[in-house]
Each structure stands twice: as structure tokens, then as C-alpha cells.
Structure 1
Amino acid sequence: MYLIERYIMDETRRLVMIIVGFLIFIFASYSAQRYLTDAANGIIALQAVVDIVFYKVLIALEMLLPVGLYVSVAIALGQLYNDSEITAIFATGSSPLRLHKSVLILAIPLGMLVTVLSMYGRPWAYAQIYQLKQQSQSELDVGHLRPKKFNINDNGRMILAEHIDPASNRLSDALIYTPSANKTSVYRVRSLEVIDSSPTTPSVMLHSGTAYQLDHKGTEDTEQIYNNLALHLKPLKQSIDAKSKSASTAELSRSTDPADIAELQWRESRGINAVLMALLATSLSRTKPRQGRFATLLPLAVLFTVIFYGGNICRTLVANSTLPVIPGIWLVSLLMSIGVLILIAREYSLMQKLFR
């Protein structure tokens, strides 16, 4: 490997490690704070927080790694331009292609890693997260419920209890709120015993209380006083979006559902987009001498925002059948490729004028 390529790679690789490490720390801290709050409110089990944060970081790597490379290339090359080192390299007869070659040597392996994470790590991590949430929210795990707090799951079911005894699976002075499309059920009970804690058929036995059925149209409200009432609760259902994210790549490739196709295209395009983003940063990091190595960060930040939201918008449009499957999410990659070619051609044109 030539000295110039190795020099640029070393500068960029060091920054990638620092920036990605910092981003992982920030993201993990934010996720931990969020899920610790859910655990304190009884939404998920406290023991599941560490595992969920790990899986969330694994999922986020498909975005954090390309962002780290994108920013590192911009800063490293910006510094070299600011110190006139790039000018000296070009003065020796080197072309801009050597800059892109140096970045590609780093970007291609990283893009391959991002592809593997997106195709296989992403669905596995999502499946583990949904399994942990289901175990915490639909199995009526008395161990993670909190007394004198509103314990809510993703179905909207709320349990409030004055006293909770994990040893006997009993709740005292409890209130159960279960909403549905047509009516809302409210159960006021002196004592509640968990009978079945399975995810598919959660059920409890209510001892001495009152049940209210509230019709949303306001015409058929009912009240029932009971001594012993077996209540079968609604199991936690996985949303369509959750099913697509946790489905394996092989399952998505066989599906004709637009949401599954959008998810598959999203996974397939992550690695290629990471390489294209690095090439865009290479071309857009050009600065004038003494302009400052951070002079291009604002336009690069704007460009990243456009790419990020453009990809999300295209994924939503494909999932809604508003945007055709072809080009689908690949529209963003296509536009990025055209931008890279235009910028490279512009750099060669500038070089010819400079050394004519």
C-alpha cells in the first residue's frame, strides 16, 4: 500500500474509533435511561433492561458506524486540506482518485460489516427485544409490577394495586383497566390471584369486587358485583411493523407484503449507502487553505439529514404502496451514486484547470 493511502487511512481510522465509541456511549446511556424509567413504572422487568439496551445498541450500529465514518472522513480530510497537505499531494501529480481509494479501503469492509449487521443482527436483536417485552408485559410477571403505580403494557392494559405479594402471585385492592375498540372494561377488586401467566392465555381470578363495562357509544354501560370471577386478559400482540423488523431476511425475501419488501430493501441498502456516504464526504470535505477543518461540517450535516429522512420517507412510502417497489428505497442510493459521480467529475475538472 502506498504511503499516501496509508497516511489518510490512519488518520481516518483513529477518528472512526473515537467517534463511534462516543456515539455508542451516548446512545446506550439514552436507552438505559429510557428503559429504566419503563422498569420503574412497571412496564418492563428491571432484569430485562441490560439485555434490551445491548440489543438496541446492536441495532443502532447499522447507523452509528456509517455516521462515524462519514464524520471522520470529513474531519480528517478537512484537516489535511487546512494544512495544505492535500495540495502538496496533488502537486506531486497524484489525482483525487487516490483520496477516494484511501477512503474506499476503509469504507468497503465497514460497509460489509454494516450489511451483515443489518441483514442478520438487526432481525435477531429485534426478535429478542420483542420476546423480552412479551415476557414482561403479557405473562403477568408479578415480580416486575410495582405497588401504587400505574403498570401499563403496549396493549393499553393498566393494573394498579395497593399491595403486591410476588410469593403468592396475589394483588390486593387492585384496579384493572382494559380498553378495546368498542368498549372499556374496568375491574375493581379486593384480591386478585394470577391463574395463568402464559403469553397466549393470561388469566386471573378476581375475588370480591365490581366490574364495569363502558360502551363507547354510551348506551349499554353495565355494572356487575361478583365474589369470584375468572378473567381472561388480552394477550400482547405484535404489531405489523414489529413482525417485519424481527422477521428473518429469508422470510422477507419470500413475502409480497409491501411492509416486508420495504424492510428487506432497507436492510440490503445499508452497507452500500455507508460506502456512498463516505465517498460524498470525501468530495465535500474540500476546503480552502486556512478556512478551517470544520468549515464543511454544516453542509455535510445538512446532507446527512436529507439522506437519513429521505431513506425513512421512502421506506414508509414503499410500505404504504405509494412508491413503487422499483426503485423503492434504492432511489436514495441511486441519487447518492449520481451525486458521487458528479462530484468526482467536478474534482477532475478543477484539477485540470489548476495544473493547466
Structure 2
Amino acid sequence: MIFQRALRRELFSAASAVFTTLFTITVTFMLIRILRDAAGGKIASSDVLILIGFYSLDYFPILLILTGFISVLLVVTRAYQDSEMVVWFASGLSLTRWIAPILSVALPLTMLVASLSLVVSPWANEQMQEVRNRYEKREDIAKVAPGKFQESRGGGRVSFVEEVSGDLSKVQNIFTSMMNDGRSSVIVAKEGKVEIDAHGDRFLVMSQGRRYDGLPTEGDFQMMQFEKYAVLLSAQSNLDANNKSAKALPLRTLIDDPNPTRDGELLWRASLPFMGLLLMLLAIPLGYVNPRVGRSANMIVALILVAVNLNILNMLQLAVVQGKISFWRASWPMHVAVAILTALFFLWRLKVNSVWHPSSVWGRIKCRLYRKKNQQCVDHQQMVGN
């Protein structure tokens, strides 16, 4: 019990440091990307902090999986480096005795990853999509910052306003330049507001203004003065709020109305908890290091295994989306392979006296290199194995 409490305390301490580091790096990259989108007019500047929060919730499952795996790896590696494992094995205890205390931390973490992956992440994606759609639904003229020229998404309109009302529905002193059938059109108006017709199409209705078509030096130049003039901003067909991506769909919808795209998303969500649990168990035998050698190489190998695991999951998800393999056939091979690999690593570390154990192989190589006597080589191998 004392060992388990100390191990859990050390795991929580390592997990706190690892999660803080990973979360800080992730938020930094997200902030750079979101600020770039805000500067490019893709999102509203007032939505930056909201989107960072939703993106964080979406990345939480992966961050927790990496946190659990790296934390177990660090704790086991430290025990080897401080020669605590020598005392552990000398006391007649096995490496498998680490499984129970690790599971006491891994199982709650797996349940948290499952809830985030199956429920919270879809909700966060739905909210992100709604925030972006709400900004896209806003008329281009309302996206213009006062005193700044702004190009529309299609690139066919450049707008400038002097003042915007608080509810963003009215603008004052409007300048708009458009291209119609290869001809330049310039509209200036004192005021404009948004109106929606019976079909759901959005129009910018400008009042007390003028329109100039063509160039003054051309013969077909036209100028007209109007009391009211409407410009189509967006059609209802382009504002379909029900067109959600698979990432934003709730779990019930993925199960009740399946298709290849939704099956691929369901595979990703369901695989993350199992992957996190198996990786934390794999970190126990993978944490072995020679106390006289650094642990950098060991950490690199571990991170490569995580990257390979995630890439295989992405490949399986892509195969399901493309209809090359069914959901049920893609849901189990990777986890079975990782479980077998974990069992093999445990056997490899437990059978220290095996002729194929690294210490035994290295001992035989040293004996052949230095041409020692056979008995000395055997004694050396036994000493390294023990």
C-alpha cells in the first residue's frame, strides 16, 4: 500500500508537469493559427478566446493520452536510473507488480478520455462550427471594420464604411466597389441595413446614394441616384446550418444513421480510450534503461511508437471513410497488435536470463570481442542478467 500511494503521488506529479507543458505548446500553436484567421477576416476578433477554449476541449483526449503515457514512462525510467528497480528485483518482486497501481490511475484517466472523446469533443466541434457559421452568415458589409477597406470572400466586392451600429445591422457612409459582367460599379450611400426576404435571402438595402457604372472616359458610363438600392449578400442555399461535419455530430447520430464518413469518425472516437490504456501499460516495460546510460534514446523510441500508433489509426479511419474496410474490421486489429506487443515486452523484461535478452546478447558479443575465457563469459552474462 505504501508503494502504491507513493507511485500514484509520483504519477500525479509527473502528469501535472507533462500536461502543463503539452497544453501550453498546443495553446500557443492554436493561438497563432486563430489569430492568423482573424487577421485574414475568416473569423471575428471577438471570437478568438471562445475558439481557443473549444479547440482545447477538442484536443484534450490526445493530450491526456500523451500525458498518461509519458508520465508512466518517466516514473519507471527514474526508478531504473536511481537503482530502485535493482532493490525491487532483489526483493523477489516482479515487474508485473507495477500493473495494478498503474491501472488504478490509468482506468480513471481512460474513462475521462472516453467521455471527452465521445461527448465533449463533438460538442466543442459543434460550437466551433456554429461560431464560424454565425460569422459567415453575417453580411460582408458588417464584417468591415470602420475606416478600413475589406474584400469579400469571393473577391468580387471591396467595401468601406465610416461607422457601424452597435448591433452590426446598420452602417453609415458606405462605399462599395463591385465587378458586374466585366464592368466596374461603384456605389456610395449614406446608410445601409440588412433585410431578409421571404425566401431567406439576405440583402443590404442602401438609402440616399449614387451608383456609377463603368469609367467616366467611356461612352457607356452611367450614373444614377437612388433612394433605396438592394445588393444580394447571401442566398439561403449557402446558409444551410444543418450541414454539419462528422466531427460535430453527437454519438447517437453516428450510431443511428451510419455512413462511411460517420463510421470513420466513430472509429476515431472509440479507439482513443483503448489506445490510451494500452499505451500506459506498454510504458511499464518500455521504461527500462541502463542506470549508466541516459534515457534520451528510450524516450525517442517511446514517442515514435505513439506517433506510429496515431498514424495507423488515421490510416484505418481513412480506409473506413473511403469504404475500403468496414468499421468492425478496422476497430480491433491495432489494439490487439499493441496488446500483443505489450505482452512481448513484459516477457522480454521478465526473462532476464534468456539467451535472447539484450544483456545476454551484449555479454556474448563482449566475450567474443575481447576473447575471454568461456567461464569468464558465462560469469559475466550471469552477472549482467542478474
Q: Which category describes the TM-score, using the shorter chain as reference length?
A: 0.7 to 0.9
1:190 corresponds to: 187
Match in the other structure for 1:39: 38
Aligned mates of 2:212, 2:98 — CA distance in 1 = 75
Which residue in the other structure is 2:171 paired with?
169
CA contact 1:5–1:98 (8 Å) conserved in 2: no
Shift of 1:225: 9.2
Contact 1:159–1:177 (8 Å) recurs in 2: yes
Counterparts in 2 of 1:61 and 1:338: CA distance versus 1, 3 Å: same
CA distance in 1, matches of 2:349, 2:60: 32
- Name the residue aligned to 2:361: none
Q: Distance in 1 between matches of 2:70 and 2:182?
A: 53
SS at match of 2:327: coil
Against the structure 1 CA distance between its residues 91 and 261, is the aligned structure 2 distance closer, same or farther, given a 3 Å change threshold? same
Amino acid at match of 1:233: S
TM-superposed CA distance for 1:8, in Å, is 2.4
1:127 Cα shift? 0.7
**Which position in structure 1 is the counterpart of 2:96?**
97
| Corresponding residue number in structure 1 for 2:258 | 256
How many Å apart are 1:238 and its aligned residue? Answer: 6.8
Report the Cα offset of residue 70 of structure 1: 1.1
Structure 2 SS opposite 1:109: helix
Kindly provide the CA deviation profile for residues 196-240 of structure 1, in whole angstroms up to 9, marking residues without a partner as x.
379x633334762559xxxxxxxxxxxx99874542524345797
Rg larger in structure = 2
Structure 2: gaps of 5 or more residues: 215-221, 356-381
Q: Any residues of structure 2 matched to 1:240-255 within 5 Å, and which?
A: 242-255=244-257
What SS class does the counterpart of residue 115 from structure 2 fall into?
helix
SS of the counterpart of 1:286? Answer: coil
**AA aligned opposite 1:337:** A
Aligned to 1:51: 50
Offset, 1:297: 0.6
Query: 2:277 maps to which residue?
Result: 275
Q: Note the C-alpha offset of 1:74.
A: 1.4
The percentage of aligned residue pairs carrying the same residue is: 21
Q: Would the aligned equivalents of 2:72 and 2:283 in 1 still touch at CA under 8 Å?
A: yes
Higher relative contact order (CA 8 A, sep 6+): 1
Q: Residues of 2 paired with 1:250 and 1:186: CA distance?
A: 52
CA distance in 2, matches of 1:93, 1:186: 88
The structural deviation recorded for 1:322 is 1.7
Give the whole-Å Cα distance in 2 for the aligned partners of 1:72 and 1:114.
Answer: 16
The answer for the alignment partner of 1:216 in structure 2 is none
Residue 117 (1) aligns with residue 116 (2) = yes
2:201 corresponding residue in structure 1: 201
What's the counterpart of residue 63 of structure 1? 62
- Residues 225 and 76 (structure 1), Cα distance of their counterparts in 2 relative to 1, 3 Å cut: farther
1:231 correspondence with 2:232: yes
Q: Report SS of the residue matched to 2:345.
A: helix
Q: Counterpart amino acid of 1:28?
A: V
Q: d(CA) in 1 for partners of 2:86 and 2:213? A: 82
- Count of residue pairs brought into register by the alignment: 334
**What is the aligned-residue RMSD (CA, Å)?**
3.2
Q: 1 CA distance for matches of 2:285 and 2:242?
A: 42
State the secondary structure of the residue aligned to 2:329.
Answer: coil
Structure 2 letter corresponding to 1:76: V
Q: Does 1:340 align with 2:337?
A: no
The SS at the match of 1:93 is: coil
Deviations 1:16-59 (A, max 9, x none): 11111122122222222222232233221111111110010011
Contact 1:108 1:275 in 2 (8 A): yes
Change beyond 3 A, Cα 1:18–1:94: same
Give the residue type in structure 2 aligned to 1:126: N
- How many angstroms apart in 2 are the aligned matches of 1:250 and 1:131? 20
Q: Distance in 1 between matches of 2:246 and 2:231?
A: 35
Q: Is contact 1:164–1:170 with CA below 8 Å preserved after alignment?
A: yes
SS across alignment from 2:149: coil
Greater shift in the superposed pair: 113-122 or 131-140 = 131-140
1:315, 1:158 → 2: CA distance? 38
Structure 1's unaligned 5+ residue stretches are 179-183, 212-223
Local SS of the residue matching 1:231: strand
Relative to structure 1, the CA distance from residue 142 to residue 15 in structure 2 (aligned partners, 3 Å threshold; closer, same or farther) is farther
| Structure 1 equivalent of residue 219 of structure 2 | none
* Residue type of the alignment partner of 2:294: G
CA contact (8 A) 2:163 2:173 kept: yes
- TM-score norm. by structure 2 comes to 0.76
- Partner AA of 1:311 in structure 2: L
1:72 aligns to what?
A: 71
* Residue 327 of structure 2: aligned partner: 325
User: Take 1:129 and 1:107, find their aligned partners in 2: how far apart are those partners?
Assistant: 30
The TM-score with structure 1 as length reference comes to 0.82
1:306 corresponds to 2:303: no
